[in-house]
Amino acid sequence: MGTRDLETARTVKLRPIEDVAETLGLAAADLEPYGSYKAKVRWGAIERSRARPDGALVLVTAMTPTPAGEGKSTTTIGLADGLRKLGTRSIAALRQPALGPLFGAKGGATGGGRAQVAPMEEINLHFTGDMHAVGAAHNLVAAMVDNHLAQGNALALDPRRILWKRVVDMNDRALRNIVVGLGGPAHGVPRESGFEITEASEVMAIFCLATDLRDFRHRAERVIVGETADGGLVTVGQLRAAGAMAVLVKDALKPNLVQTLEGTPALVHGGPFGNIAHGCSSLIATRLGLKLGDVVVTEAGFATDLGGEKFVDITCRTGGLTPACAVIVATVRAVKLHGLENLAKHVENVRRFGLVPVVAVNRFASDAEAEAVEILEACRAMGVRAKDSRAWELGGAGATDLAQAVLDAIHSADARTFRYLYADDVPLTKKIEAIATEIYGADGVRLMPAAATKLARWQAAGYGGLAVCIAKTQNSLSDDAKKPGRPRGFSVTIRDAKLAAGAGFVIAYAGDILTMPGLPKVPGAESIDVDPDGNIVGLF
């Protein structure tokens, strides 16, 4: 299917990016073009747009996925195209794809079939260089930490308590645990360290939650890189690295404007994963979209228990956003794996946030009609609007029924009051318990000693008002990937925790989740190549 997606994308003649911008009221001077079909939006245009009223914000989330994914990006793009066909000035706001999954198992992340953002090869690969800028800013801090140790260690950092790892935008399990500084005094101070994937970096989170470059710099100063022997916290500000970090991301922070295959504007910016990070595109891009469009359709990574919850409790809380409704993507194959009770739990979660749910049954050619109809009927029994989505096959025309259902939900009399899951002043451990019991359906939480000690310390140190970002498997509502469906009678084990003071949240690691994925037995990279004419082949 991936090769067919690439072939489909190449059959479409894209509009010059200046023409796409013009539909949003942006002039050519408001853009920094990267070729003919992608551009960054200049800060001046962003500043001018802030006087405009906001459009409606629609969140696209999902039921618990199968390993192949259920098509949230495809549905998001198709819905934006469908809304545009109904005369609504719509904009898609998406995360940038990562190289790790592209060359691993999942493939690209620009949608599929007739519902894609383009130019898909460029977006899936290096795009405008944002990922590299984030990785460089993160690794600059790592280099400055080790240099500080080697140059006398005036801040008295304890080499055993360095918290800042390095990152790379690739799945590479061999880098999870490493030793740096070997080779004698001239090469640094030996210590244990490791790598995480770039999408899990706190710098990526700050990139996506900052309001502008100045805010990015202020947040970067608060990042904690390690501790002293007596437990004191050492920050990026003390290393005097924040200014250089801001220099590295100053252009990357401008949102990227591209288009769907049908010419609908799309802002593609930022790329934190939804399982090990907060899973949402940048606030800068989302806020810009709300000023330029009638409806902004955005997605959050994986299902309501991961990206959906984090979108509400981290992104919306940080950015003051209020979604109008939430679309839950379901598929026949996901229902076969997890059951209708799993879908019902995700509907329940959306309602817990005070949002009106709309279920999109993302249709595949192999789906039996009776099985798809069964899902639609089950949704109606739950009192939920539900529509087929054939965006992969038909583009926007295959999503107009879904688009109308979304518009009805936005303007419906049964619209609820949007609310966060927990208040700011709830203790960190209680926030974790609320997520686990109310969103995952757990009976409770088991804190391992390392996590309990850290959480208590940060609570006492004044960080208790931060949000919580739980890193957890995406393959189950529980913390055990081998428990499909709607598990009951389980507890969530929090084995460790990390303070991400710059991002504004605490990360709690559930079960055996890893922040550096590995490649599968047969990586996708094996099928990707360049033909004699210079065309990319095998790209999903």
Class of residue 268 by CB neighbours under 10 A (exposed 0-12, middle 13-18, buried 19+): buried
Distances (CA, A) of 467 to 171, 202, 426: 28, 14, 10
Tell me the two tokens of residue 194: 């490791």
Domain covering 132-249: architecture: 2-Layer Sandwich (3.30)
Say how far residue 371 (Cα) sits from the centre of its chain: 30
Q: 359 - beta bridge partners?
A: 328, 386
| Amino acid making up residue 71 | G
> Percentage of the chain with pLDDT > 70?
98
Contacts 24+ apart (CB under 8 A), 234-240: 234/155, 234/157, 235/501, 236/141, 236/502, 238/155, 239/141, 239/144, 239/145, 239/148, 239/155
Mean pLDDT of 100-104: 89
pLDDT in the model for residue 540: 67
Tell me the two tokens of residue 410: 């936005």
| Residues 81, 93: Cα–Cα separation, whole Å | 12
Q: What is the 8-class DSSP label of residue 21?
A: H
Contact in structure between 343 and 378 (CB atoms under 8 Å): yes
pLDDT in the model for residue 7: 86
Q: At residue 437, does pLDDT exceed 80? A: yes
Largest CA distance in the chain: 71
Mean pLDDT of 82-110: 92
Considering only CA atoms, which of 409, 408, 407, 456 is closest in space to residue 432?
456
SS3 51: coil
Considering only CA atoms, which of 346, 320, 273, 238 is closest in space to residue 507?
273
Query: What backbone torsions phi and psi does residue 57 show, to the nearest 5 degrees?
Result: -110, 125
Class of residue 229 by CB neighbours under 10 A (exposed 0-12, middle 13-18, buried 19+): exposed
Confidence of residue 106 (pLDDT cuts 50, 70, 90): low
| Residues 60, 396: Cα–Cα separation, whole Å | 16
Q: At residue 413, does pLDDT exceed 90? A: no
pLDDT in the model for residue 317: 98
Q: At residue 382, does pLDDT exceed 90? A: yes
Across the chain, mean pLDDT equals 96
Confidence of residue 2 (pLDDT cuts 50, 70, 90): very low
Q: At residue 349, does pLDDT exceed 90? A: yes
Class of residue 500 by CB neighbours under 10 A (exposed 0-12, middle 13-18, buried 19+): buried
The DSSP H or E segment spanning 45 is helix 43-49
Q: 361 - beta bridge partners?
A: 330, 388
The 3 state secondary structure assigned to 483-511 is: CCCCCCCCEEEEEEEEEECCCCEEEEEEC
User: Which range among 61-75, 101-115, 210-224, 246-260 shows the weakest confidence by mean pLDDT?
Assistant: 101-115
| Amino acid making up residue 49 | S
Helices (H) and strands (E) in the chain, counts: 21, 25
pLDDT in the model for residue 1: 38
pLDDT in the model for residue 149: 97
Mean pLDDT of 132-145: 98
Considering only CA atoms, which of 184, 170, 94 is closest in space to residue 135?
170
| Residues 121, 135: Cα–Cα separation, whole Å | 21
Extended strands (E) in 293-356: 295-299, 325-330
Map tokens 């499909």 to a residue.
484
| Residues 113, 78: Cα–Cα separation, whole Å | 10
| Residues 413, 78: Cα–Cα separation, whole Å | 26
The DSSP H or E segment spanning 134 is helix 130-150
**CATH number of 428-510, picked from 3.10.410.10, 1.20.20.10, 3.40.50.10790, 2.40.10.10:** 3.10.410.10
Q: At residue 104, does pLDDT exceed 90? A: no
Contacts 24+ apart (CB under 8 A), 366-375: 367/331, 367/332, 368/332, 371/332, 371/335, 371/336, 372/332, 374/340, 375/330, 375/332, 375/335, 375/340, 375/343
Distances (CA, A) of 486 to 309, 345, 346, 358, 489: 17, 7, 10, 20, 10
SS3 173: helix
**Cis bond before residue 532 (omega within 30° of 0):** no
The DSSP H or E segment spanning 159 is strand 157-162
Pairing of strands 491-500, 444-447: parallel
Half-sphere exposure of 448 (CA within 13 A, CB side): 13
Q: Delimit the domains of the chain by residue range.
A: 2-129+252-410, 132-249, 428-510
Q: At residue 109, does pLDDT exceed 90? A: no
Domain covering 2-129+252-410: architecture: 3-Layer(aba) Sandwich (3.40)
| Residues 162, 164: Cα–Cα separation, whole Å | 6
Confidence of residue 31 (pLDDT cuts 50, 70, 90): very high
The 10s digit of each residue's pLDDT in 383-401 is 999 999 999 999 999 999 9
- The pTM of this model reads 0.96
> Percentage of the chain with pLDDT > 90?
92
Tell me the two tokens of residue 400: 């107009």
Contact in structure between 448 and 495 (CB atoms under 8 Å): yes
Contact in structure between 81 and 264 (CB atoms under 8 Å): yes
Mean pLDDT of 336-364: 97
Q: At residue 369, does pLDDT exceed 80? A: yes
